[in-house]
Amino acid sequence: MAGLLRDSDKLRLQVFAVCALAGIALAIALPLVFDGIGYSESSVMLAAPIVALGVCEMVLGRSWVRLAVSAAVCVVLLVPGWMYGAAAAMLLFGAQGCAVVSDLMQRRWALSVLDSAESQCVRPEPTRTDRVVSFVFDLPRDLDTRNMKIRGSIRRESIPWRQIAESMLPMLVLMLLVWVVIASIMGSRHTLPQVMVPVLVISLYAAAVTMPLGVFASMDARAETAGRTLRLSEGMARTTLRMAVPAAVAVVIVILVAQTGTAEILAIAASAVFCVLLRTGAALLYGTAGEPEFVSDAYAEWSRTHPADLYSGLDGRGSEKGMGDGVPGTPRRPADFCYGFQK
């Protein structure tokens, strides 16, 4: 299924690509040029793409006050140490950048995910995408998911704190795996800046790549069958909770066994706080601007090929006839889509 990328998104993708190449080049070159800089410190340059997207979005949206205040805070925090200024930039500009990355990913892949969730029950053999979607959203193989529905618009009268909290679960599970690596590999041989900078950069990307999963709750994506409704957001919550428990236990065990140093433990705690603040800020920014527009665009594209009723316009397996409702342009679903599994 085609994505929903707009012409304006090309500029955002170009900014991300250019800054990603520049950030990688600087992260490699700085330790080679300057003796006092190691790769752990230069890894801060890898945050450039998301931070730059945040700055670009503020400029395009003419959010001059927020841009000036964020820049001033970053400059002030450079005084006690460059790490504090970098962390502030990743938080203040990175939150907006995460919202942009989430919007781009959703417009490119959200409808494809819905199409995979809807179609996998009629395929003789599930594709790799089907298996990933089935695992992430905990879709039973025997569940008839052909009647997939989504919400046409969203209008909120208050901040959906519960939805924001639930949407953080995939990010925290991913970070638990990162913390296991930190606790087991780094041990107690590093200073706080050496550990903190790479962890914050990883946290920034973890928030960006997992944030799009929250849109399925906003869209209320669900498979409706006789007497049962399965929401994708609820299935994703079950999957992440199953993964979170053993991952959290693994973090505790590794910290105790590997005798993890104070710097590593502080980095883990700081990254947890950073992730929550970053993800909350990104959700608030995106929920008031880009998300309602995306949900409307997704529903318009989805409705072009999906009638209100799964079998509307179908009569038997191979024939198609009008519904007799007198409404021109009634959408039709191809018969081979509904009955492809039985061919």
Q: Where are the domains of the chain?
A: 7-309+331-342
pTM: 0.82
pLDDT score for 1: 53
How many other C-beta atoms are found inside a 10 Å radius of the C-beta of residue 329? 5
Residue type, 226: A
pLDDT score for 159: 85
Centroid of chain to Cα 159:
19
Q: Which two tokens stand for residue 91?
A: 């938080």
- For the beta sheet containing 228-231, the strands, ordered from the edge strand earlier in sequence to the opposite edge, are 148-149, 222-225, 228-231
Blockwise average pLDDT, block size 10, the chain, 343 residues: 78 93 95 87 93 94 93 94 92 95 93 88 82 90 83 83 90 89 67 78 93 91 83 92 90 78 78 92 89 90 71 42 50 48 38
pLDDT score for 318: 41
Closest CA to 312 of 301, 328, 324, 302: 324
pLDDT score for 154: 84
Q: Which residue has the tokens 């505790």?
A: 252
pLDDT score for 54: 95
CA atoms within 13 A on the CB side of 300: 9
Q: Which two tokens stand for residue 20?
A: 């990603």
pLDDT score for 311: 45
pLDDT score for 324: 47
pLDDT score for 147: 84
Question: How many whole angstroms separate alpha carbon 42 and alpha carbon 198?
Answer: 9
pLDDT score for 330: 54
pLDDT score for 67: 94
Alpha helices in the chain (DSSP H): 7-33, 39-42, 48-60, 64-77, 82-119, 128-136, 161-167, 169-181, 192-210, 215-218, 232-257, 262-287, 290-305, 335-339
**Residue 103 and residue 5 in contact, taking contact as beta carbons nearer than 8 Å:** no
Question: How many whole angstroms separate alpha carbon 117 and alpha carbon 134?
Answer: 7
Question: How many whole angstroms separate alpha carbon 205 and alpha carbon 45?
Answer: 13
pLDDT score for 260: 67
CA distances from 202 to 61, 266, 283 (A): 27, 16, 18
